[in-house]
Amino acid sequence: MKVLLTNNSGLGDYILMNGATRFIAAQEDVEEVVVLCMATHDRYQQIKRMYSDNPNIKVIGEPHPNSFRKGRKKIKRYRTRYPEHQFRTFFWESFVWPGAMERVGLDPHQKNCWPELFYASQQAPYSARHEHFYIKRDYDREAELIEKLALPSEYALCIDEGNIPRFGLTPKTSLFTFKPHSRRDLFDKYHIWDWMGVIEAAAEIYTIDTGWMHLLKSMRLNKPKFFYHVRGGVAKNVFTSRYINDEYDYGWTIINAAGMLVTS
């Protein structure tokens, strides 16, 4: 069997679906997985590298559509190009997530979160998010980046920016605080995967809900971790679902923009 996959096109979406893609590719009856990556060239290069270790996973690039409707049209055209492939595809606006979750037996209000919907849509168990997550790391590039940054021996890592306006958060910590987006000049040369060494070396982690957060969750870090609950959204349920703390990655403290503990 051959399978073609698509998902929403944020970098965090692709990181989130790493485990699903690899789970599907690992099935005995699957000989090929094609990932249709509708994204900018830079994002396509990062996703292509994410699966470069697995010859059964092929990433094909398609220019990023300027609307969800046009994205779904692109997916439809690929059905004629890949007639032998089983399509497990979605490209959905967030307002459709609650209804879609209910149709597959998920609770969008309290118990479940939208990543569980994405996994169900590609017929992969949600446990695969962690059990099948894998990145072939380039430790030489990671060390090179660490050397360029020349960070102190102990520091806090703060992600307060993504494809959204900067929040300008100030973690309540005595440690030197480093924000990767303060070194945008390095983003062209070093992919997000090359920052994994910087992430692992941090003594504390602070992050908003962004693509970096999904990488942080997938790395399952055993250190003080703080999630800034500063962005609303559909079917996130940061207190009652597995969106932030789950059975594989837990220990996250949820705080607000002022750095105050939030419990509900």
How far apart CA 46 and CA 42 sit, in angstroms, is 6
Q: Which pLDDT tens digit goes with each residue over 39-75? A: 999 999 999 999 999 999 999 999 999 999 999 999 9
DSSP state letters, 36-89: EEES-HHHHHHHHHHTTT-TTEEEEEEPPPSSHHHHHHHHHHHHHH-TTEEEEE
pLDDT of 175 higher than 90: yes
DSSP state letters, 198-233: HHHH-SEEEE-SSHHHHHHHHHT--S-EEEE-----
Torsions phi, psi for 147 (to 5 deg): -65, -40
pLDDT of 249 higher than 80: yes
With the C-alpha atoms ordered 133, 112, 105, 73, is the resulting torsion angle positive or negative?
negative
**Mean pLDDT to the nearest integer, 127-131:** 98
3-state secondary structure 152-195: CCCEEEEECCCCCCCCCCCCCCCCEEECHHHHHHHCCCCCHHHH
Amino acid 224: pLDDT: 97
pLDDT of 230 higher than 90: no
- Distance, CA of 209 to chain centre: 10
With the C-alpha atoms ordered 91, 95, 96, 98, is the resulting torsion angle positive or negative?
positive
Residue found by looking up tokens 């590609």 in the block: 122
Q: Which of 137, 97, 136, 119 is nearest to 24 (CA)?
A: 119
With the C-alpha atoms ordered 216, 6, 129, 93, is the resulting torsion angle positive or negative?
positive
pLDDT of 28 higher than 70: yes
Q: What does the chain come to in residues? A: 264
- Residue 115, SS3? helix
**Mean pLDDT to the nearest integer, 9-14:** 95
Q: Strand order in 225-228's β-sheet? A: 176-178, 155-159, 204-207, 225-228, 252-255
pLDDT of 165 higher than 80: no
Amino acid 259: pLDDT: 82
Bigger pLDDT: 259 vs 229: 229
How far apart CA 133 and CA 156 sit, in angstroms, is 25
C-beta separation of 2 from 85 below 8 A: yes
Amino acid 54: pLDDT: 98
pLDDT of 164 higher than 90: no
Average pLDDT of the chain is 95
